Amino acid sequence: MTDRDKTFFITTPIYYPSADLHIGHAYTTVAADAIARFQRLQGRRVFFLTGTDEHGQKIERTARKAGKDPQAFVDEVVAGIRRLWERLDISNDDFIRTTEPRHERAVQALFQRLYDSGDIYKADYEGWYCTPCESFWLERQLVTGNCPDCGRPVERVREESYFFRLSRYADRLLEHIDAHPDFIQPPSRRNEMVSFIKSGLDDLSVSRTTFAWGVPVPFDKRHIVYVWFDALINYITAAGYPDGAGLSALWPADVHLVGKEIVRFHSVIWPIMLFAAGLEIPRQVFGHGWLVLGGAKISKSRGNIIDPHVLMDRYGVDAVRYFLLREIPFGADGHYTEDALVARLNADLANDLGNLVYRTLNMVERFCGGRVPAPGDAAGCDGGLPDLAARAVREAGAAMGRLELSAAIESLWRLVARSNKFIDEMAPWALAKAGDRARLGSVLYNLCECLRALAIALSPIMPRTAQKMWEQVGLDGRVEERRWDDAAQWGLLPVGAATRRGAPLFPRVDLEAEAEAAAEARVAAPAGAAAPAAPDKTTAVGGADAVDTVSIEEFGRLELRVAEVKAAERVAGADRLLRLQLDLGGETRQVVAGIAAHYDPAALVGRRVVVVANLKPAVIRGQESRGMVLAAVDGDRVSLLGPDQPVALGSKVR
Ligand code: MSP
């Protein structure tokens, strides 16, 4: 069997259903989806696996805290996770849950096998455990007494335990890594893992006795299998383990796509488990970087999460997918900001791609009766597009093969940019006016061909948009059923195909106008008078147990300060707005407040108020506003808050 005949097997981590998933989980899953879709276009059979990691102490505790039985608890969260993937157009071929009987059987079979071969033995364990990370640590590994991975407190564990002889296979693993430079990617992660292994591997505790939510050890039911040992096995459960037939067709996995914090489990513990079981090890573990917000990894426990549903409601599925894959070079960490998303949406999607599609099809409609014209043989009317398209598609394909998703998109955007420029250079409207049908036909045919090529090549990234483009340029069927090579081949678009121009694919988002509308709405609805003047952007919500409350840390992120009004005047053309100049003790800034109906500007001068000093700046009615003054609101009555003692300007309000 050649490599191309083997089913391409790609996985995401199986996520903990301890709470709803956030944009960080979506990042991995969308990336895996794009790679899976790309491989399908390459004509490969693909098996794309995702799922949920449902056992362990953390889930058990979270469920109990919610007053639920663990199974009922995870069932609910998992239903939400499935809905999220459907909405994000994730094309997984299987969804594995570690509470399924097929998986419990696989875990028990592997555990038994390793026990029988002497790779698992019983001893006493004494050490530390980080429940959020579900990781064992030795005293010497702790950092100032806390978990070296996440920095949170660890718990003392002293119990009888089964151990797995990791140490036995360390040399074999190092040899494998050396002989297969692609096994751990990107290279920085490989180097980290090599030093980790060289620093010495201790045998791993692989069972627990102090709680019950897990797979029982088959020959000693007082023990349950350690959750990571259980979870990693999911990849072969889905391939049919312990039955050999399915396994041989699918296994080994081609890529385990994971976040960088769990590369260690996938590239050290997992391969050694497989060595011990006499199975092949995965071809590649790719550890991508983190989405970072406000200087910290986006994570449930830090409470700085972004809900992908909110982003999709607002910007659409494909804009979210595009942003995730385009913005951050795959492998590196990247800062998440909603402004960056909007900037990409407006520039790349609305301006570049959306305009190209709209302008091209509009002209085909106006000048060619909505039928793809014949290219004719007019010289000099292809603008080099056929060569450029072939090159862009080739480069994008090579980049996708290396999992350089952002670079792949960049290559395709060179074709988008050149096509837009070609329209400007050739001015088809002038050719139409001059009655030069031959040249006009050539120009528009070539542009339509670009749209066809782009529809195929973009389908792994933005499946819905690609399908729309495919249909709009007059083609039938599903673009995802085409071949990647069709995108590189010129002239496959049939002359005479009936184009179907639709609405612009990506409407522009104007955050400034929305900020204005939000400030107006705040004023119009007094109950919201103390709400932020910034647009109602994505809310960062806390963990599962923080639905209606904020933690003290979250509150602490607000910078509230005492300020004095130095000047106040009405904003022209806005009945309800006042422009205030505030002195925050050494710093003066302008704030626009919706209080004109309640305060005479002159009477405000000299008053001390409380201002939210770190509110994101907004432009309201053309006026910059850097902060918000706090007011109590009682029906129609609005009352500004201020200190009742003389305190220094700039004093913190807590
Ligand atoms: N259950 C384990 C994985 C077991 S795999 C055999 C687990 N689950 S998790 O729910 O915590 O998911 C972690 C994974 O989610 C990361 O490895 C990464 O793929 C993704 N991400 C979570 N937060 C992320 C960011 N802020 N940024 C990028 N990816 C993130 O660990």
| pLDDT tens track for 104-133 | 999 999 999 999 999 999 999 888 999 989
Provide the token pair at 235.
Answer: 């990849």
Note whether 478 and 518 are same-domain residues: no
Examine residue 141 and state whether it is found in any structural domain, yes or no: no
| Lowest mean pLDDT segment, chosen from 1-10, 526-535, 601-610 | 526-535
Ligand 1 near 258 CB (within 6 A): yes
Q: Which residue's alpha carbon is at the smallest distance from atom 28 of ligand 1?
A: 290
Ligand 1 near 24 CB (within 6 A): yes
Q: What are the beta bridge partners of residue 582? A: 565, 589
Q: Which residue's alpha carbon is at the smallest distance from atom 10 of ligand 1?
A: 15
Examine residue 500 and state whether it is found in any structural domain, yes or no: no
What backbone torsions phi and psi does residue 617 show, to the nearest 5 degrees? -60, 150
What backbone torsions phi and psi does residue 57 show, to the nearest 5 degrees? -65, -40
Q: For residues 261-274, give the mean pLDDT.
A: 98
Q: In what order do the strands lie in the sheet with 155-164?
A: 135-137, 120-130, 155-164, 204-205
What SS3 state is found at 502?
coil
The CA distances from residue 340 to 348, 414, 626, in Å, are 11, 20, 20
Provide the token pair at 548.
Answer: 């209606």
CATH number at residue 544: 2.40.50.140
- Give the Cα separation of 489 and 100 in Å (integer): 46
Helical ranges in 369-404 per DSSP H: 385-401
| Lowest mean pLDDT segment, chosen from 75-89, 270-284, 583-597 | 583-597
How far, in Å, is the centroid of ligand 1 from the Cα of 258?
7
pLDDT bucket at 573, cuts 50 / 70 / 90 = confident
Examine residue 121 and state whether it is found in any structural domain, yes or no: no
Ligand 1 near 331 CB (within 6 A): no
* Rg of the chain taking only CA atoms, in angstroms: 29
Note whether 523 and 634 are same-domain residues: yes
Whether the CA torsion 375, 376, 377, 380 is positive or negative: it is negative
Cβ neighbours of residue 141 under 8 Å, at least 6 residues apart?
A: 148
Ligand 1 near 28 CB (within 6 A): yes
What pLDDT is attached to residue 524? 47
Note whether 346 and 329 are same-domain residues: no
- Give the Cα separation of 441 and 453 in Å (integer): 18
User: For tokens 């009317």, what's the residue?
Assistant: 381
Which mutation among 258, 261, 265, 267 tests ligand 1's pocket best, with the greatest number of atoms within 8 A of CB? 258
pLDDT bucket at 636, cuts 50 / 70 / 90 = confident
Q: What pairing do the DSSP bridges indicate for beta strands 540-541 and 637-640?
A: unpaired
- Give the Cα separation of 611 and 634 in Å (integer): 19
Which mutation among 10, 12, 15 tests ligand 1's pocket best, with the greatest number of atoms within 8 A of CB? 15
CATH number at residue 60: 3.40.50.620
Higher pLDDT among residues 576 and 332, named by residue:
332
Q: How many domains does the chain have?
A: 3
Note whether 517 and 613 are same-domain residues: yes
What pLDDT is attached to residue 543? 34
How far, in Å, is the centroid of ligand 1 from the Cα of 150?
13
Among 460, 467, 409, smallest CA distance to 10 is for 460
Note whether 555 and 604 are same-domain residues: yes
Longest Cα–Cα distance of the chain, Å, equals: 90
Q: Which residue's alpha carbon is at the smallest distance from atom 7 of ligand 1?
A: 15
Note whether 478 and 619 are same-domain residues: no
134-174 pLDDT, tens digit each: 898 988 889 999 999 888 999 998 999 999 999 999 999 99
3-state helix, strand, coil in the chain (%, to 5): 45, 20, 35
Percent of the chain having pLDDT more than 70?
94
Nearest ligand 1 atom to the CA of 18 is 10
381-437 pLDDT, tens digit each: 888 999 999 999 999 999 999 999 999 999 999 999 999 999 999 999 999 999 999
How far, in Å, is the centroid of ligand 1 from the Cα of 262?
8
CATH number at residue 465: 1.10.730.10
Ligand 1 near 201 CB (within 6 A): no
Note whether 435 and 359 are same-domain residues: yes
Out of 302, 336, 370, a domain closes at: 336
What SS3 state is found at 165?
coil
- Give the Cα separation of 24 and 157 in Å (integer): 31
- Give the Cα separation of 301 and 24 in Å (integer): 13
pLDDT bucket at 234, cuts 50 / 70 / 90 = very high
Element holding 272 (H helix, E strand): helix 270-277
Q: For residues 559-584, give the mean pLDDT.
A: 90
Phi-psi region of 158 (alpha: psi -120 to 50; beta: other; left: phi over 0): beta
Ligand 1 near 232 CB (within 6 A): yes
Examine residue 365 and state whether it is found in any structural domain, yes or no: yes
Is residue 11 within 8 Å of 296, Cβ to Cβ? no
Is residue 622 within 8 Å of 604, Cβ to Cβ? no
What pLDDT is attached to residue 555? 82
- Give the Cα separation of 362 and 428 in Å (integer): 11
How far, in Å, is the centroid of ligand 1 from the Cα of 296?
15
What pLDDT is attached to residue 522? 53
337-359 pLDDT, tens digit each: 999 999 999 999 999 999 999 99
Note whether 453 and 324 are same-domain residues: no
How far, in Å, is the centroid of ligand 1 from the Cα of 25?
6
pLDDT bucket at 506, cuts 50 / 70 / 90 = very high
Note whether 429 and 361 are same-domain residues: yes
The CA distances from residue 467 to 32, 68, 85, 463, 510, in Å, are 20, 43, 19, 6, 26
How far from chain centre, in Å, is Cα 60?
27
- Summary mean pLDDT of the chain: 91
Nearest ligand 1 atom to the CA of 293 is 26
Domain extent at residue 16: 1-99+289-336
Examine residue 548 and state whether it is found in any structural domain, yes or no: yes
Out of 301, 336, 371, a domain closes at: 336
Note whether 302 and 425 are same-domain residues: no
Among 487, 500, 477, smallest CA distance to 370 is for 500
Provide the token pair at 61.
Answer: 């505790």
Instruction: Evaluate if residue 518 carries a pLDDT over 80.
Output: no
Note whether 293 and 325 are same-domain residues: yes
Examine residue 5 and state whether it is found in any structural domain, yes or no: yes
Q: Which residue's alpha carbon is at the smallest distance from atom 15 of ligand 1?
A: 25
Note whether 320 and 453 are same-domain residues: no
CB atoms within 10 A of CB 498: 11
- Give the Cα separation of 419 and 384 in Å (integer): 10
Ligand 1 near 25 CB (within 6 A): yes
Percent of the chain having pLDDT more than 90?
75
What pLDDT is attached to residue 238? 97
- Give the Cα separation of 406 and 326 in Å (integer): 4
Out of 456, 488, 520, a domain closes at: 488
What pLDDT is attached to residue 248? 80
What pLDDT is attached to residue 380? 78
Examine residue 374 and state whether it is found in any structural domain, yes or no: yes
